[in-house]
Amino acid sequence: MPQPPGGPIAYRTLHESPVVAVRDYTCRAAAGGPREEEVSTGNAVVLMRHGAFSRHFGRRRVTADVNEAAFFPKGATYRVSHEAGHGDRGTVFEVAPHALAAFLRELDPASADLPEPGIPFPAGPCENAVFWRHRELVLRLEGATAARPALLEPLEADALALQLVADVLEAAYERHGSARGRRRPATEEGHAERVEAARAFLTSRMTERLTLNEVAEAAAVSPFHLARLFRRWTGVPIHRYLTRLRLRASLELLAEPGTDLASIAADLGFASHSHFADAFRREFGCAPSEFRRRASGRALREASRIPEA
């Protein structure tokens, strides 16, 4: 997590897991600076939501605003200034060192021999689609409460956060002319095996509230790598794949007369009836109760066609 960018600052944790932490920060520093030198204690990515600040690396100045992703490489020293006194606010993404290192080695094979590769750039582009997904993620995380924590499951929060970090890091490497090497057939085969291991784990444990770290351990791959591999091979994010497993299994249960909707939701791993209903409606375009009525009506019609012995 980067040091406070000079001045009064408050952090608030929105999500935290063994893989990634997502924190909201608000800084109310007055205009001025550069201030005293600071040191980044770990690799972090900051996506701004309001205002701006500048970091000074010697004579070089790099401004962080809503159009750029700010990277805080571990061990980097800098000083902070604010051109305006309006304050700034953003989202800090802290990725577990082992997960980030695996992804950075994929982006830059030359860093494979480094024990702990760091982010080599202070900033990178934040495309409009990435910015929009970032804002949506923050809204969903802020909407989670003790009364309704199911707005975002841990696995989905991990996957969405890591995808944002991956997107801005890839864009930064492309800006600086760095390209990953071509994958070898043996590598492709290994990737496929990892994805299949993850799929097998998901199908066997789909009724549990899984974390991305648990699935990654079962597939013997880093969480960062798994989230990207899974989407590339299956065409859908890992959290959506898990949700679809549950939802499609629910159709058979809903067609059975007398089954309780809340029980179906709980048995399939949904945190609540409303969580199940919302996911069902997004996936199939109707409520579970509506599908049940149609399935029940069809069953009655079929039964009426069966001739008596």
On the 0-12 / 13-18 / 19+ scale of CB atoms within 10 A, 73 is: middle
Cis-peptide, bond into residue 34, ω within 30° of zero: yes
Instruction: Please give the CATH topology (third level) of the domain spanning 9-175.
Output: Jelly Rolls (2.60.120)
Distances (CA, A) of 47 to 9, 16, 28, 91, 171: 16, 17, 17, 5, 14
Can you tell me the distance from the alpha carbon of 32 to that of 43, in angstroms, rounded to the nearest whole number? 26
CB 159 within 8 A of CB 239: yes
Within 10 angstroms of residue 63's Cβ, the number of other Cβ atoms is 15
Angle at CA 211, nearest 5°, toward 207 and 216?
A: 110
> How high is the pLDDT of residue 186?
54
> How high is the pLDDT of residue 45?
96
- Residue 27 carries which side chain, given as an amino acid letter? C
pLDDT along the chain (309 residues), means of 10: 58 94 92 88 91 88 89 91 84 92 87 82 90 91 64 89 95 77 58 88 90 94 90 89 92 86 93 92 92 71 44
Residues 177-200: b if buried by 16+ CB within 10 A, e if exposed: eeeeeeeeeeeeeebeebbebbbe
> Where in the chain does DSSP place strands (E)?
9-16, 20-27, 38-39, 44-50, 53-57, 60-64, 68-72, 77-81, 88-95, 123-125
Can you tell me the distance from the alpha carbon of 277 to that of 254, in angstroms, rounded to the nearest whole number? 12
Q: Is 158 helix (H, G, I), strand (E, B) or coil?
A: helix
Structure tokens at 9: 């600052």
Q: Is 248 helix (H, G, I), strand (E, B) or coil?
A: helix
Q: What is the CATH number of domain 248-309?
A: 1.10.10.60
Distances (CA, A) of 188 to 167, 237, 275: 21, 19, 36
> How high is the pLDDT of residue 298?
56
Half-sphere exposure of 211 (CA within 13 A, CB side): 11
Distances (CA, A) of 24 to 88, 138, 299, 301: 11, 8, 51, 55
> How high is the pLDDT of residue 33?
82
> How high is the pLDDT of residue 303?
43
Q: How many residues does the chain have?
A: 309
